[in-house]
Structure 1
């Protein structure tokens, strides 16, 4: 299975540069994974396609202002660090540019209150930096850091909360779980009023999820690990739904990866937390997830491979082709699709 099998043509003007004023105004493409039938609607109509008794699983991670700019002692040139994940204590794994200015032992100054030292460099060139600071780290990060928007978004975001889901809670992500951006608190209330259950899990999204697949053979791609949490309440709701043959609907690929990591062969999950590097591509046997709400993903990405595993590659690429023809908006601030 080649990476090029998951390519498609996308005009650049269809890459959404900003969120819609009303989150629910996004278009919604519906794909029946059994028949390949495609329908078109809007996200505010999602209730029409959800049934009483369904269980929605949402990722409640919250994006941190993970982009920091600092300089070496006595130097004026800026060095950019993008925090990917906390390794332990005050040590973080980061992307860094220009990397040549951040050798092991390099001391970086972000402000009078926040400093760091490069303590290790991975084989892939990521930096491990150890912070030292006066005050509360999270408050300093909020003061000095910038929201880490994906590189394909070139317009400045006016309201940082628009790159957060309305239910974001647990800080730790370097990127938003974007399928959840279409929900409002009012829509979630209507969903619950219809008798649809909601469970919250956490997966801190690292940029490894979006890292380009640089190998020809899909099977040779290595995923970066990401931290997840499934608490007892979420595990109980998922297991009850499975035992009663009710649909478990994942909101986003991050929720899929979390649930499938924690599932046994019968689709039941345990309260758990840890690191996952699960890579889902066609041929994968889904154990727990029955339906999926997601955005439209980059060509040749691990995310479009996951979606192609859930339906079929031909069905998904056909749906993407139709979305392009109907001028859907793509990627993080773009439109949604529901695979059922």
Structure 2
């Protein structure tokens, strides 16, 4: 059998297997709070070696989608305890993904007076779904140097809140065109004040966020997700290699629990980052138009990665490790129920008898 089903440690957290439930926005929170239904959803999937939650905003201005949860208030911390309790009761491990969406958002989703922020006032092309219908992305407000420092502190505070809520650790979302990624890319970061410009300037925000979070809860409870060259959310990185090699090298001394790489197609860059990183490597492999499937388990066996992240398959198969281990049929995911709604397409996918 594949070593994908063998135990492994990521930082201080011991996992039963090497299958990761990838972070997936489901937009079922209300007023920034997860619910009992959320606890049931994650608890059903506790046989994953590691669950990484949907993106959780570390501050009010970090929200970019409707009905997403936060970790910046006492009420939110209390609500998340129901989720972590359900996962731990079922024998699972769970990290909170901290996601500040930056320019990917709209004022209608934010408290009155707030607008999306970013390293530079560069609007993303495209539209965002909101409760008021589809809306064009707005030009974000450029963060001041003092506000950047406050944002770093917000991430650290949210990480402490995550531990208080019972999470085993946190993953920092530095991928897919959100705030940390926006600082990494010269297309969205046009600053000349030390928070941009040269490669060391481009990686500075990411390094400081990772360092602050590791200082707050321990590097061994901190993971970082990146997506070098990924075009999601109107991103443009013509030469990502120097930036990401610098980022991984600069964070190596923090002894992070893991690096989570979402590939855009450059497998050699993935291998180079693996050589530079001493911790566990979670890979969300590039598979073209199809979701990550059973065939990607071979990437663990051949040493390309330590763990593989599955998205849609975990969404539709709460007992995915058992199904993959036994070669059992897989439920198909229903895209019509991915976002918002209730139990349908969320907690009603059947497990094996």
So what's the TM-score if we normalise by structure 2?
0.29
The structure with the largest alpha-carbon Rg is 1
The structure where strand makes up a greater share of residues is 1
What is the TM-score of this pair, normalised by structure 1?
Answer: 0.30
Point out which structure has higher relative CO (alpha carbons under 8 A, 6+ apart): 1
User: Comparing both structures, which one devotes a greater share of its residues to helix?
Assistant: 2
